[in-house]
Amino acid sequence: MLPPRILLICCLLLIGCSVERDNTSNPPQPVSSDTTIAAMSGSADTFERKTSSMGQLVYVPVYSHIYQQDRQKTFNLTTTLSIRNTDPYRSFTITEVSYFDSQGNVVEQYLDDPERLNPLSSTSFVIEERDLRGGVGANFIVNWKSDQAVTHPVIETVMISTTQQQGISFLSEGRVLQEY
């Protein structure tokens, strides 16, 4: 440990080494999010997509309830499927969001028409806590496509419940079954 006198001298030297700049001649300019993204990563044409695809079929685990203590007592959960476009420049289209139960039977189809997801936007689908049709082995199948390669989206489910002074939350990440 350095003596306090030495620490004080070091601090004063560091403070004296910092240079204060006068920014009055160049006031800050407002910056759009496009400009910020381009500055961070280059232009849309030079943006490097290390993990990119033109579409995927994605499996996402879901738990409509989990067991506690024994198989007779369950803890019901609200589930949110979140689909996030991570590409700052390009859109993609979600063509299918299907919910399956533990036996692999279709419980619900969530899209009547394809849904376009703009750059850096997201969408979600919710299964209410009282909806136990899926069971502990439920899942979503998400299908998305694009005309151009886009960075892989983040597709995951968040399960949560806060009943009887007990809170629980966790997430499940999607797993790619097929690349297009």
Instruction: State which CATH number among 2.60.120, 2.40.50, 3.40.50, 2.60.290 fits the domain covering 55-175.
Output: 2.60.290
Higher pLDDT, 103 or 28: 103
User: What are the distances in angstroms from CA 64 to CA 19, 49, 162?
Assistant: 58, 35, 14
Question: Mind listing the pLDDT tens digit for each residue in 65-79?
Answer: 888 877 778 889 999
Residue 47: is its pLDDT beyond 80? no
144 by Cβ neighbours in 10 Å (0-12 / 13-18 / 19+) ranks as: buried
Query: What is the C-alpha to C-alpha distance for residues 5 and 15, in angstroms, rounded to an integer?
Result: 15
pLDDT of residue 45: 57
Both structure tokens of 153: 């989206």
Number of alpha carbons in the 13 Å side-chain half-sphere of residue 29? 7
* pLDDT higher than threshold 50 for residue 12: no
Measured distance CA(142)–CA(25) in Å, rounded: 53
Q: Where are the domains positioned within the chain? A: 55-175
**Whether pTM exceeds 0.85:** no
Would you say 85 and 153 are in contact if contact means Cβ atoms under 8 Å apart? yes
For strand 92-100 and strand 106-109, is the pairing parallel, antiparallel, or unpaired?
A: antiparallel
Question: Which range among 20-29, 58-67, 92-101 has the greatest average pLDDT?
Answer: 92-101
Q: Which residue has the higher pLDDT, 17 or 115?
A: 115
| Residue type at 37 in one-letter notation | I
